[in-house]
Structures are given as C-alpha cells and as structure tokens.
Chain A
Amino acid sequence: MTLFSKLQPARKLKFIWPGLDALAILAWGALLLRYWLNGQLKLLIHPNYFGLVLITSIILFLLGSLKGWLWFKQLRKQSIDSETVQHITLFPPGWGSSLLVITAIAGLFIPPTVFSSQVALQRGISESLPVTQIQAEAFRGTVKPEDRTLIEWIRTLNAYPEPDAYNGQKAKVTGFVVHSPILPKNYIFLSRFILTCCAVDAYPVGLPVKLEGDQKDYPPDIWLEVEAEMITETLAVDTQTMQKTPTQKRQLVLDAKSVKTIPTPADPYGYAQ
C-alpha cells in the first residue's frame, strides 16, 4: 500500500485497469471452457448452444491474450496513449471488470446445482404445463412402453390423453421424488425438469406413483428407478396441471412394482427438441 500512496495512486491505477480488463475476459473464457469440459453446461443450458459456448470461450481467450499483450506493451512504454472510438462509460473505472472477475471466480469455485423438488413446487408443478412446449414431435408407436423415459411418457400422454389406452402397459422410468399435499399418503410425484433454452425456463413434468408403503419411505429429491404397471385411478388431482380438481378425475398412474433408489444421474434434465 505504501508503494501506491507514494506513487500517485490514481495514475498507477490507470495502468492497472486495462490489466483487470484482460483478467476479466480470460477468467470468463476459462469459466466457459471449464463448463464445456466437465459437462456442467448441461445443468445450465440446452445442448443446442454448447458449440456457441465453446466458440465464445476461444474468442475470449484470444481477446484476453491480445488485450493482455497490449497492456504489457503499454506498461513498458509507461504511457496511456491508447485511442478509442468515443465511448460513454456507465460504471466507475474498474467496476465493470471487477464484477466480471468476481462472478467468474465464484462460478469456478461454486458448481451449479441440480434443481430440487423445492424448485419444482415453487416453479409451478402446480401450474399448467405450457402445451406448446411438449409437442409430440415424433409419435413413435413402435417404441416398447417399458423403453419410454418419463419425458417420453409425458409426451405420449399429451398427444393422446386417454389414460385407459395405456392400461396394463409396463413402464420403467427414472425421476426425482416430489411430495405434494394434494396427493393421498401412498402417492408421490415422480418428476423431471425439461429445458427449452436454459435453466431459467426449466419446467417440471411428472406422473403420480402409487406406492405399496407410505410416501415417507421416499423423502423428496431422492432419485428413483420405478418399474411399474400403468393403471387408471380416480384422483382429485389433474396430472396435466398438477392442481387439485374439484371432482375426482380418471388419471394415468404408475403402480409401482419395484422401486430402486439411484444416485442423481449425470444428465438429470430432459431437453425440448
């Protein structure tokens, strides 16, 4: 600090800001590359944009290195003669770059989380599913029912919502547990999130599972692999909107034959096409 106070801090800082800019750009390049390498990108955005993130990180590395090189040259000349196109700044010097650096470092140290049942409930597991987002883009009647994932079941059900049509079919699906007060005690929702663009628009879909025991045996958020038979039940809940309905309604329900606890999968989300 004494060095700074002796040598006109303002003037010294002027030399430091461009270095901070370069650091901010390099840090963001590193963060994006890290997400791309370790697969955490799929917790954040739709796979369609993975390539875009990789290209961005490469450009940021190039840009940061160039800026760093220019800064180094400037430091050796000890002059601030860089000319710019007329530019209006919004932040005090150093603020913008500091924000970028801090965020990138926080991102490097704190990994993104997998959304839990809490988010599912808050995000509107009780809210109507946007119908446009679950278009049955390929209705594959040839797929064996037990090969369908939970999301494929939801799509199929959206395309043809008559529960009786699936009666007796076998199912083997994975998802996380959501407890809902509108379901009877021996029921849970088996749920998964679907991403259209990024985690911001992740929305939960799910089906009710009828258990042999109590829902207490399966605490919220644990992941289950459920082998079940499709049955039709009458419940006072709309599985399409996951809201309590005034009258009992026929529903497609997974009648669990075997329930296995599994670790959280590496790709916990489904993606809209």
Chain B
Amino acid sequence: MNQLHNAFTLFLSLLVEAFPFLLLGVLLSSALLLFIDERKLILTLPKNPFLAALAGSLIGFLFPVCECGNVPVARRFLMQGLPTSAAIGFLLAAPTINPIVVWSTWVAFRDQPEIVVFRVLFSLTIAITIGCIFSVQKDPTHLLQPFLAQRVSMLLSQPKWPRSSSKHSNQDVPVLLQSGTFLLNKSGTPLRLEGMADATATLPSIGSREFYRRLNIFIENVVNELRELGGMLILGSAIAASLQVFVPREIVLNLGQGTISSIMAMMLLAGVVSICSTVDSFFALSFASTFTTSSLLAFLVFGPMIDIKSVGLMLSIFRPRMIVYLFALAAQLTFILTLCHSYFF
C-alpha cells in the first residue's frame, strides 16, 4: 500500500512538472498553426537536398510541435509541394529541435547540459542524413500513400512552384476547360484536387469579424491536443512511476549499467512508451540514476522520431514499407551515435 502511495506521488510529480510545458507547447503550436502562412514558408526553402533537409529540420523552431502535432503539419507541407527530403527532415527533427523541448530538457538535466547539446546534435544529424537518403529517390510517389502520391506527382509535373500564380489565372477559366484531377463533391460540383489540399490547409484570412471564428478554432485545437497529449502523458507517467517503484532495483541496475544493453533497453522503452517530446525528458530523468547517460540520450533522440503512436500517425502519410525504412534507419543511426557517445564521453 505504501509502495502504491509512493508510485502515485511519483506519478503526480511527473504530471505536475510536465503539464506547464505540455500546455506551452500546445498553445504555441496552435497559435503558429493559425498565423504562419505555410505556403510562403515552403517557397522560401532551398532546393538542394542537403540544405532542404537542414531547413526542414529547423522549421521546428517555428512550429514547436511534438510528434503528434507534426505529422498533420508534415502532411500539409507535402500536399503543398515541400520536397520529400525537407518533409522527412521536418518529421524527424521538429519534435526535438524546438524551443520548448530544448527548455524542458534543460530543466530536467540542468546539471548535465551536455545532454541538451547532444540531443539536438544527434537528432539533427539523423534527420538530415535520412532526409538526404530519401532525396535520392527522385519519384517520391512510391513511398507515399496513394492519395498523397497522386497529389505530389501532380505538383511535380507542373512547371515550377506554380500554385500562387496559376491559382489566380485559373479562376476565369470554366472548370471544364481546366487541366488537372477533379473529384465530384456531394452536390455534384467538380472539385479540383489541388484546391482540396489547400482547403484542408488554409484558414480564413485575418479580419475583425473573423476574430471569434479564429478564437473558436484556436481553442478547439488547443483542447484537442491537450486531451490527446495529456492522455498519453498520463499513461506514460504511470508506466515510468511503476517501473521506478515496482521493478526490483537489481534488474534495473543490471540492465542500465551495460553499455549496449542500456541503449537497447531505452530505445525499446522509447518506442513503446510514446510520451510526448516536450515532456519526455522528465520521464528520462526517472532513469537518470540507474541508466547510462548514453542510453538516456538514445531515449531522448529515438523516442520523438519513432514510437508506436507516431507510426500510427505516419501511416496517414507513408506506405508501410517506407515506415519500415524510416524505423530501421533511425534506430541504427541512434544506436551508432549513442554508442560513439558512450565511448568518447
């Protein structure tokens, strides 16, 4: 009973420490989702695969979203013609390379600032590497889900970043004379496929009457994300607290002190626990006294990229084969980098 009470206290402690960061992340991501024009942002990105992957990875600083929020954003990016390398860079790095995550990691590991530095460095390295690898595949349509693939191949066949110009010129031409793919909506009116993609992404322009509508959307989005991520956080914290209290210390120490076993164990845990990246450093902190620093890094780097929850979300973008590639590459690179860390530091 006493042990249960201890576990409950640990559970609450994790939640109370993490909640402010979760709320901050959700508020910022919802606000920026409404106020940043994604299409303009995409147009300013470089075309070189390496630079595009780098830029994609750094967009996380503008979109402080954790791994649940970034999949829908990446999906919209792809629909609007973001190069695959940049999209993959964004998908893998944005959950880690963003101000809230850096701050919460620093709060948790104030006395080991190197964890913050290596977390950012390793995530960036892995995201850029994988982004570059997939940029070799010139035709990304084999990797994407059919609907997205169709949309992307259409964008590729068009001359060059034509959206902003062609959209206006097309408005005078009757629908039947326009080229492109069309769908029929319920009322039987043809809908342009590109337009549909824009429709899911664009929000009404700012106007004084729009204020309440926007506020409504903002609140809905904040509440939705808070509910989903909060639920995940509760499950994750419950697991962390029970592992700390109920698993015999000898087992944890044996596993946590081996160089390779600790990294493998923490990567497995990261994959299963699916805790949001803005608060996963507090989760890792509960293992700080028993696990090696390199394995904590492995958790912090691998968790935001691939876990059960994000695989589920990524299925809305990629074909399963592509997710297997992503998983294998991210896992191997994390393992190699953190193993290097354990030998050199």
Contacts and interface: CB of A to CB of B under 8 A. Distances in A.
Interface stretch (B6-14, B48-56, B172-180): B6-14
Interface string B193-219: 000000011010000000000011101
B337 interface: no
Contacts of A100: 227, 230-231, 234
B240 interface: yes
A159 interface: no
B212 to A, nearest CB: 10
Given A82-B216, A84-B224, A199-B13, A90 B231 contact: yes
A138 B307 CA distance: 44
B72 A88 contact: yes
Interface residues of B, number: 66
* Residues of B contacting A: mostly: helix
Interface residues of A, number: 64
Contacts of B34: 85
Given A100-B234, A103-B15, A200-B10, A89 B224 contact: yes
Contacts of A130: 111, 288-289
Interface stretch (A62-70, A160-168, A224-232, A260-268): A62-70
A149 interface: no
A88 B25 CA distance: 17
Interface string A1-42: 000000000000000001001101100100010010000010
B286 A201 contact: yes
Query: In this complex, which of A41, A100, A103 has the most chain B Cβ atoms within 10 angstroms of its Cβ?
Result: A103
Contacts, number: 177
B231 A45 contact: no
B216 A197 contact: no
17 contacts: A32-B16, A44-B12, A44-B13, A44-B16, A56-B20, A84-B224, A86-B75, A86-B76, A87-B224, A106-B8, A107-B15, A113-B5, A113-B9, A122-B249, A133-B111, A199-B9, A200-B17
Interface of B: 2-3, 5-6, 8-10, 12-17, 19-20, 23, 27, 30, 33-34, 68, 71-72, 75-76, 107-108, 110-112, 200-201, 203, 215-217, 219-228, 230-232, 234-235, 240-241, 244-245, 249, 282, 285-286, 288-290, 309, 312-313, 316
